[in-house]
Every structure is written in C-alpha cells, then in structure tokens.
Structure 1
Amino acid sequence: MPTDIPPFRPSSQWYEDWPFGVDTLVRVEARITGAAADRAVSVFLEPLTHDTDADRVDGVRLHYWGGFTVESSALIDENGWRLVLASAGEDGFDSVESAADDLFDKLRATPGEVRLVWHELPATRAPGAELYEG
C-alpha cells in the first residue's frame, strides 16, 4: 500500500466548538498505520516530555511539549497508533495545529509505508479548570 499522509485541515465547526471559553480543551485524533508507523510515531514523540505519572493502565501514555499534550496508544484493531493532540486556552487552536503540522512533517520524512487519518474530536473542559472557578 502506498504512503498516504494528508495535512490536518480543520473544519469551521472545529473552530466554533468552544463551549467553555478559555477552559476549552480542543482535540484532534491522528490514526497512524503502515509498516513504518512505529518508527514514524517514535520520531514524533521522542523530543516530547513523557509524563510517566500520567500513564494509564489501559496503555495510554501522556506526552507534552510547550502548549500541547499528546495521548498515545497502540491501536487495538490493527497495527498502528492513535495519537490525540490537545490544548486549551487562548492559543489552543494554534497549539494543536502546530502539533499537527509537526506530526505531518515527521511522518512525511519517515521512509516506508505510513498512512494517516485525522478525526476532529468534540471539545471538552480542560482538566483542572473547575479548580479555578469562583
């Protein structure tokens, strides 16, 4: 199968989904498959900080860099990875789009077969936001 790596092109609905103001966590899911998926994801995650205290028993690992987080987990139904890129605050959209651009660049630079499918996820309240409400 050939490599298929489209850039992330958010819909207008994704930008309009801002239900909690600056406490809104905007998210996009990337599903990466193909023979070179493991290598490609490793290259993307390597410069990020891995928060081992946030790892979950279901195999989800949390990474972060600057203003965004990445939840990574192996796909159960096929060989590959599920990455959820997320950010909150005034720069949430910019941070997620920057992370998506970086992922796109890393996958495109990886030799071998890689496929990428994007899914916009509904916005949620940022974790811990309720602690700052009056």
Structure 2
Amino acid sequence: MVPEFRPSDAWFADWPFDVSTLVRMAATVSAAGDAVPEFLATLTRDESADGVYYRGGYYVEVSGDEPGEQWRIILGSAGEDGFDSVLSAADDLVEALRAAPDDVRLTWQELPATRAPG
C-alpha cells in the first residue's frame, strides 16, 4: 500500500518567515510504472525550469525519470495556505500512485522550511 504523508508537529511548527515561508516535503518513489508521468501530465510544466511543474497553489520538482530509476519528487508551497497546498499535493500524488498496477514503493521526508523566493 502507498502510504499517505503524515506530517509531524515539528513540520507544522517550522514557519520561520511568516507568509514568506516555503514549506516542502520530498517523496522517493520506485516501481511506479507510468504513475508518476501520469501525475505530472495533470500539472502545468514550467518551460523555463527543467523538472518543475505547477498546479494551483503548489509546485513540484522532479528528478530521476530514467527507466528503472527512483523518482525524487519535491512538493512545496508558500503563503498563508502553504501547508494545505502541500498536503493537497501529497494527496494528489498518493492517489496517482495507488492507481498504478505495480507494487509502488513510496517514502516521505519532511524538508526544513526556507524563505520563499521573490
């Protein structure tokens, strides 16, 4: 089963730059078949940045798209609803991975908050 992201209290408390805080998490995915490319196809690709996509209030950075490689997917958002947006992104990713016919492996990692660019 593909695990949902369950954030710690410390992740929610890491808000050092007020609304300019960028909250992030990373997912490592393997054996996903076409599930990750299908998830990415639902997003808008940033033509100016390799491996960066957007949807609504969150962004996605991806690497590792060679056959047989693990995917590293970073989900992030900033602003007043940064946490809600990142949790929504995690739910979208989990939903896509659960639809895969393969035995997908997914691990989550909370990343430290940073100052949002701009």
Q: What pairs up with 1:54-93 in 2 under 5 angstroms?
A: 54-55=49-50, 61-74=51-64, 79-93=69-83
Offset at residue 75 of structure 1 (A)? 7.3
Unaligned runs of 5+ in 2: none
In 2: Cα distance, 1:83 partner to 1:12 partner = 22
Offset at residue 112 of structure 1 (A)? 1.1
**Which runs of 4 or more aligned residues in structure 1 lie more than 6 Å from their structure 2 counterparts after TM superposition?**
none
In 1: Cα distance, 2:93 partner to 2:65 partner = 17
> Structure 2-normalised TM-score?
0.94
Identify, as 1 or 2, the structure richer in helix. 1
Aligned-partner SS, 1:119: strand
Q: What are the Cα deviations for residues 95-123 of structure 1, in whole angstroms up to 9, with x where unaligned?
A: 00000001011100111121000000000
Match of 2:39 in 1: 44
Q: What pairs up with 1:92-107 in 2 under 5 angstroms?
A: 92-107=82-97
Offset at residue 45 of structure 1 (A)? 0.6
Equivalent residues, number: 117
Offset at residue 17 of structure 1 (A)? 0.2
Match of 2:27 in 1: 30
In 2: Cα distance, 1:75 partner to 1:93 partner = 27
Asked if 1:123 corresponds to 2:118, the answer is: no
2:33–2:102 contact (8 Å) kept in structure 1: no
Aligned-partner SS, 1:84: strand
Unaligned runs of 5+ in 1: 56-60, 129-134
> Structure 1-normalised TM-score?
0.83
CA RMSD of aligned residues (A): 1.5
AA aligned opposite 2:115:
R
1:38–1:80 contact (8 Å) kept in structure 2: no
Greater C-alpha Rg: 1
2:33–2:100 contact (8 Å) kept in structure 1: no
